[in-house]
Amino acid sequence: MPAGCAEMRRPGEAAALTAASRRSYATAAGKSWFGTMQRSFILAGGLLGAAGVALSAVAAHAGGGAIGTSAAFLLAHAPALLAIGLHGRSRLLGAGGTVLLVGVLLFCGDLLMRHYAGTRLFPMAAPAGGTATILGWLIVAASAFTMRKTG
């Protein structure tokens, strides 16, 4: 039956089709949100990994404890973000990954700003970043209790 011919449908059929299309849209929107989240974590993990390797090279050739610390921090957290992007299926895990990413960026950003510009990113940025990173890991761990069994 043509989509525009509502008068040809039986009573109640239009309401059922509308409810079904709403459920379908909600499911598609949820999948779209998760797809965007997953791509974002994969992108962030790749960029953190690349920055970590580049900063490792700088630290090896030019020295600088803050650069080496930032490089190690970036390289340590890049695989976690990749794993969340590739296998993350829960909102809590996504929230943990987001807090983890923000913490890493604040911590490393502050260390690198101090090294290259001689000033802080903002007061208490490194401690706030470190605390956020710890909190992110705890949220990632808590997400284990919210995961559904598959198979």
Q: How many domains does the chain have?
A: 1
Least reliable range by pLDDT among 27-41, 43-57, 126-140: 27-41
Instruction: State which residues form the domain around 83.
Output: 37-145
Label residue 116 exposed, middle or buried (CB < 10 Å: 0-12, 13-18, 19+).
Answer: exposed
In a domain, 10, yes or no: no
The answer for residues whose C-beta is within 8 angstroms of residue 65's C-beta and 6 or more apart is: none
**Region 77-89 average pLDDT:** 93
Q: Give yes or no for residue 19 having a pLDDT over 90.
A: no
In a domain, 12, yes or no: no
In a domain, 6, yes or no: no
- DSSP designation for 88: -
Total residues belonging to the chain: 151
In a domain, 15, yes or no: no
- 89-132: per-residue pLDDT in tens? 889 999 999 999 999 999 999 999 999 999 999 999 999 999 99
The answer to whether 115 and 64 are in contact (CB under 8 A) is yes
In a domain, 82, yes or no: yes
In a domain, 3, yes or no: no
136 C-beta neighbours (distance < 10 Å), count:
23
Return the pLDDT at 26: 45
In a domain, 16, yes or no: no
Return the pLDDT at 1: 47
Q: How far apart are CA 134 and CA 145, in angstroms?
A: 18
In a domain, 4, yes or no: no
